[in-house]
Chains A and B, each alone.
Chain A
Amino acid sequence: MAILGAINPMLTVGLDGDNAWRLADYVKRDGYSALRRILESGIGQGDVINEVKKSVLRGRGGAGFPTGLKWSFMPRAFPGDKYVVCNSDEGEPGTFKDRDILRYNPHAVIEGMAIAGFAMGAARGYNYIHGEIWEIYERFEEALEEARAAGFLGRNILGSGFDFDLFAHHGYGAYICGEETALLESIEGKKGQPRFKPPFPASFGLYGKPTTINNTETFASVPYIINMGGDQYLEAGKPNNGGTKLFSVSGHVNRPGNYEVPLGTPFAKLLEMAGGMRGGRRLKGCIPGGSSAPVVPGPTMMDCTMDYDSISKAGSMLGSGAVIVMDETTCMVKALERLSYFYYEESCGQCTPCREGTSWLYKVVHRIEHGKGRADDLDLLASVTTNIMGRTICALGDAASMPVQSFIKHFRDEFAYHIENRKCLVPVDVQRAGSGFFTATA
Chain B
Amino acid sequence: MEIEIDGKVAQVPDGSTIMDAAQQVGVYIPHFCYHKKLSIAANCRMCLVQVEKAPKPLPACATPVTNGMKVFTHSELAIKAQKGVMEFLLINHPLDCPICDQGGECQLQDLAVGYGGSTSRYQEEKRVVFHKDVGPLVSMQEMARCIHCTRCVRFGQEIAGVMELGMASRNMHSEITTFVGRSVDSELSGNMIDLCPVGALTSRPFRYSARSWELARRRSISPHDSVGANLVLQVKNNVVMRVLPRDNEEVNECWISDKERFSYEALNSPLRLAKPMVRVDGQLREVAWNVALDYLSHALQDILARNGGESLAALASSQATLEELHLLQKLARGLGSGNVDCRPRRRDFSADGKLAGIPWLGLRLSEIKDLNAALVVGSFLRKDHPLFAQRLRQLAKKWGKVSLISVGGDDPLLRLHAQRAVSPAELPLALAAVVKAAAVLRGEPIPAGLKDVEPCAASQAIASSLLEGERRAIFLGNVAEQSPQAALLHVLASELARLTGASCGFIGDGANSVGGHLAKALPTALNAYEMFSQPRKAYFLLGVEPELDCHNPQQARAALQAADLTVMLTPFADGSAREYADVLLPIAPFSETSGSFVNCEGRVQSFSGVVRPFGEARPAWKVLRVLGNLLSLAGFDQDSSEQVRDEIVPAGAEFVVGLDNRLAATLPVALPRSGDGLQRVADVPIHFADLLARHAPALQQTRDAAVPAARMNGETLNALGLTDGVLVRVRQGAGEAVLAARVDETTPPSCIRVAAAHASTAALGDMFGAITVERA
Q: List A residues at the B interface (Cβ < 8 Å).
A: 174, 176, 191, 196, 198, 344-353, 355-360, 363-364, 367, 374, 380, 383, 386-387, 390-393
Contacts and interface: CB of A to CB of B under 8 A. Distances in A.
B56 interface: yes
Contact of A364 (B87, B124, B147, B174): B124
A355 B92 CA distance: 11
B170 A347 contact: yes
A348 B171 contact: yes
A26 B214 CA distance: 78
A113 to B, nearest CB: 29
Given A196-B40, A380-B121, A359 B172 contact: yes
Given A198-B64, A350-B41, A383-B121, 15 more contacts: A176-B170, A191-B166, A349-B169, A349-B170, A349-B174, A350-B148, A351-B45, A353-B45, A353-B84, A353-B85, A359-B172, A363-B125, A374-B123, A386-B84, A393-B43
A391 B45 contact: yes
B170 A346 contact: yes
Interface string B156-183: 0000000000110111111000000000
Interface in B636-677: none
Contacts of B166: 191
Interface string B527-545: 0000000000000000000
Contacts of B172: 344, 347, 349, 355-356, 358-359
29 contacts: A191-B166, A196-B40, A196-B41, A198-B64, A344-B171, A344-B172, A347-B170, A347-B171, A348-B170, A348-B171, A349-B172, A350-B41, A350-B174, A351-B43, A352-B89, A353-B45, A356-B88, A356-B89, A356-B172, A357-B88, A358-B171, A359-B172, A364-B124, A367-B124, A374-B123, A383-B121, A390-B57, A391-B45, A391-B57
Contacts of A348: 170-171, 174
Interface residues of B, number: 37
B74 to A, nearest CB: 17
Given A356-B89, A356-B91, A380-B121, A349 B147 contact: no
A386 B170 CA distance: 22
Interface of B: 40-46, 48, 55-57, 59, 62, 64, 81, 84-85, 87-89, 91-92, 121-125, 147-148, 166-167, 169-174
Contacts of A392: 45
A27 B362 CA distance: 70
B186 to A, nearest CB: 21
B176 to A, nearest CB: 11
A54 B43 CA distance: 39
A360 B124 contact: yes
B58 to A, nearest CB: 10
Contacts, number: 93
Given A196-B62, A198-B64, A390-B55, A349 B122 contact: no
Contact of B48 (A358, A380, A391): A391
Nearest to A374: B123
Contacts of A367: 124
B148 A352 contact: yes
A353 B43 contact: no
A196 B85 contact: no
B59 to A, nearest CB: 7
Contacts of B173: 349
Given A380-B121, A390-B56, A356 B170 contact: no
A349 B148 contact: yes
Given A352-B45, A355-B148, A387 B87 contact: yes
Contacts of B147: 352
B171 A353 contact: no
A363 B124 contact: yes
A364 B59 CA distance: 28
Contacts of A352: 43-46, 85, 88-89, 147-148
A352 B43 CA distance: 7
Contacts of B46: 352
A391 B56 contact: yes
A353 B88 contact: yes
Nearest to B32: A352
Nearest to B61: A196
Contacts of A350: 41, 43, 148, 174
Given A349-B148, A360-B124, A380-B121, A393 B42 contact: yes
Nearest to A363: B124
A350 B171 CA distance: 8
B171 A387 contact: no
Contact of B171 (A359, A374, A383): A359
A176 B170 CA distance: 10
Nearest to B173: A349
A352 B48 CA distance: 12
Nearest to A386: B84
Contacts of A346: 170-171
A174 B41 CA distance: 21
Contacts of A345: 171
By CB atoms of chain A within 10 A, which of B40, B55, B170 has the most? Answer: B170
> Which 5 residue pairs are nearest across A and B when measured between Cβ atoms?
A349-B174, A387-B84, A390-B56, A356-B88, A359-B172
Contacts of B57: 390-391
Nearest to B149: A352
Contacts of A191: 166-167
A344 B174 CA distance: 12
Contacts of A174: 170
Contacts of A357: 88
Contacts of B43: 350-352, 393
A80 B42 CA distance: 29
Contact of A360 (B81, B122, B169): B122
Contacts of A176: 170
Contacts of A358: 171-172
A60 B664 CA distance: 76
B614 to A, nearest CB: 47
Contact of B84 (A359, A374, A391, A393): A391
Nearest to A348: B170
Nearest to B43: A350
A356 B92 contact: yes
A357 B87 CA distance: 10
A182 to B, nearest CB: 11
A347 B55 CA distance: 23
Residue from B45, B148, B173 having most chain A Cβ neighbours under 10 A: B45
